[in-house]
């Protein structure tokens, strides 16, 4: 379909959300405990936040749950019956930030590669992503270094921009269209000046990034040509506590392990989030571990994230610049910190 650009009056936002809540499960930023903001199912349309710093826990679990049931296995007396589990429920991710929309697009592209991952795709293809462009970049974000924000040119079904009195509503897909056509009275075509205002806001936002930055190009050159010394990985690895948070909060990380869960006399085979930084991630049944030392695992992680080999395959680095790893890292080995160390050949010196 042709992209269309509409306008929604701010005061009609709640009414639109009420319509959406009747279409399927909505996941949106809401208040958690204390000052926390989390992605969750809102109790009502009013609970959805419109002005918030992006939650630390990304919405990737909507398409890739931490515990993801894949198949049911039953013993029928002669052998095992295997029945796939598909989650076809329609869902709407509402007010996702640009980096997260881009992250989900990245994951979907990865899972579409042959052999395509049916379990993932069924869920992802029923998901409608309504993103809220970042007119003010978040404090730790550096999405401008990864072409994943503050505004998007692709990767969303609907992109909203806060224009003050109104929201500009850019509809890019059939799924997106379904979310506005369910409440046609709330939208009108956007004016030229509103579209110009969106462009101005995008340009302004790019001037307001914080100090975090990530020079991927030079790091990519060094990583891809094996010019990062083992001694440097060794030094860096003493500042990692192997928590796995960098993987779990990363909108583009998808590594997993598989384990059967006993249920109702049979088993449910589950895909579970795993971290390439855990010592047992590559542990083999024989007890052999090809990457027993942390420095080897860190080297592997950053090769996957920023090497030219993966850049060519994925058309982007394995990072959307959300800055979550800076906050969630128990150690001090976030993406910007390590990329900087790779580039300079120095760590804490």
Partner 1 sequence: MLSVSTTCPFCACGCGLYLLAEPRELAGVAPSETHPVSSGRLCARGWGAHEAALWGNRVKKPLINKHGTLEPTSWEDALDCVARRMTGLIKAGKPIGVLGSARATNEENYLVCKLARAGLHTNNVDSCFNRLCAPLLAGLEDVCGENVPSACIDDIERSQAILLTEGDLARTHPRAASSVLKAVEGGARLITLGYLRTQMARIASLHLETAPGNEGEVIDRLLAAVLNLRLDDPTWVAQHCNGLDELRRAIGSTRLTDEASQAAEWLARAERAVILMAPPIGHPNQARRDAAALATVAALTGHLEKPGSGLLPLLPRSNARGACDMGVTQGYLPGHQPICDPPAQQRLRDLWGQQLASADGLDAESLLKSVSGLIVLADDPPSVLPIGQRAMAALAKIEFLAVLDSFDTSTSRMAHAVLPIACFAETEGTITNMEGRVQETHAATVPPGEARPGWQVLAGLCARFGVGVSYNSAGDVLNEIGLAAPQYARREQRMPDKVWGGQAVQGLNGRKYNLRAAGVASLPTDDRPTLLVRDEVFDWGSDPLISYSPTLSRDSQSQRKLFPKGFVEIGKPYADELGIPVGRQVRLTSVTGQAVLPIRLRPGLKSGVLVVPFAFRDHVAQVLGTDGVTAVRLEQA
Residue 264, interface with partner 1 (CB under 8 A)? no
Kindly indicate which of the ranges 98-106, 117-125, 166-174, 234-242 contains the residues binding partner 1, using the contact rule CB under 8 A: 234-242
Residue 314, interface with partner 1 (CB under 8 A)? no
Total number of residues that touch partner 1 (CB under 8 A): 46
Q: How many of the other CB atoms lie within 10 Å of CB of 320?
A: 31
- Contact, 313 vs 296, CB < 8 A? no
**Helices assigned H by DSSP within the chain:** 13-23, 98-112, 118-125, 174-181, 192-206, 216-224, 230-237, 245-248, 294-306, 308-314, 324-328, 335-344
Burial of 153 (0-12, 13-18, 19+ CB in 10 A): exposed
Residue 261, interface with partner 1 (CB under 8 A)? yes
| Mask for 44-63, x = binds partner 1 (CB under 8 A) | -----------xxx---x--
Least distance in angstroms from the C-beta of 283 to partner 1: 6
Residue 33, interface with partner 1 (CB under 8 A)? yes
Residue 211, interface with partner 1 (CB under 8 A)? no
Q: Is the peptide bond before 188 cis (omega within 30 degrees of 0)?
A: no
Whole-angstrom distance, CA of residue 130 vs CA of residue 157: 6
Burial of 227 (0-12, 13-18, 19+ CB in 10 A): exposed
Tokens (6 digits) for 241:
């506590």
Least distance in angstroms from the C-beta of 301 to partner 1: 15
Residue 242, interface with partner 1 (CB under 8 A)? yes
Residue 340, interface with partner 1 (CB under 8 A)? no
With CB under 8 A as the contact rule, the residue among 29, 155, 244, 251 that binds partner 1 is 244
Residue 41, interface with partner 1 (CB under 8 A)? yes
Residues 265-294 that bind partner 1 (CB under 8 A): 272-275, 278-280, 283, 287
Residues that bind partner 1 (CB under 8 A): 25, 27, 32-38, 40-41, 55-57, 61, 65-67, 238-239, 241-245, 248-249, 257, 259, 261, 272-275, 278-280, 283, 287, 327-332, 348
């Amino acid at each position: 379909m042709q992209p269309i650009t509409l306008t929604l009056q701010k005061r009609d936002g709640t009414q639109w959300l009420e319509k959406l809540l009747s279409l399927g499960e909505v996941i949106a930023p809401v208040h958690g405990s204390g000052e926390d903001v989390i992605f969750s199912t809102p109790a009502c349309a009013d609970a959805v936040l419109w002005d918030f710093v992006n939650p630390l826990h990304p919405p990737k679990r909507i398409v890739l749950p931490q515990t993801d049931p894949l198949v049911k296995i039953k013993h029928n007396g002669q052998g095992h019956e295997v029945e796939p589990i598909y989650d076809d429920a329609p869902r709407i991710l509402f007010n996702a930030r640009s980096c997260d929309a881009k992250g989900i697009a990245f994951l979907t592209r990865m899972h579409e590669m042959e052999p395509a991952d049916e379990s993932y795709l069924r869920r992802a293809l029923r998901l409608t992503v309504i993103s809220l462009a970042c007119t003010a970049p978040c404090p730790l974000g550096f999405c401008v270094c990864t072409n994943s924000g503050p505004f998007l040119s692709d990767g969303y079904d609907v992109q909203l921009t806060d224009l003050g009195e109104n929201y500009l509503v850019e509809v890019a897909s059939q799924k997106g269209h379904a979310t506005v056509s369910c409440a046609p009275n709330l939208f009108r075509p956007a004016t030229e000046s509103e579209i110009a205002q969106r462009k101005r806001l995008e340009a302004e936002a790019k001037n307001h990034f914080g100090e975090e930055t990530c020079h991927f190009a030079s790091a990519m050159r060094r990583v891809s040509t094996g010019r990062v010394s083992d001694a440097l990985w060794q030094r860096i690895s003493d500042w990692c506590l192997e928590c796995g948070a960098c993987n779990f909060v990363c909108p583009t990380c998808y590594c997993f392990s598989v384990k059967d869960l006993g249920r109702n006399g049979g088993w449910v085979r589950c895909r579970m989030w795993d971290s390439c930084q855990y010592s047992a991630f590559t542990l083999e049944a024989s007890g052999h571990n090809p990457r027993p030392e942390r420095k080897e695992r860190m080297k592997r992680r950053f090769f996957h994230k920023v090497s030219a080999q993966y850049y060519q395959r994925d058309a982007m680095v394995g990072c959307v610049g959300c800055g979550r790893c800076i906050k969630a890292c128990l150690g001090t080995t976030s993406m910007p910190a390590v990329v900087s160390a790779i580039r300079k050949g120095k760590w804490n010196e």
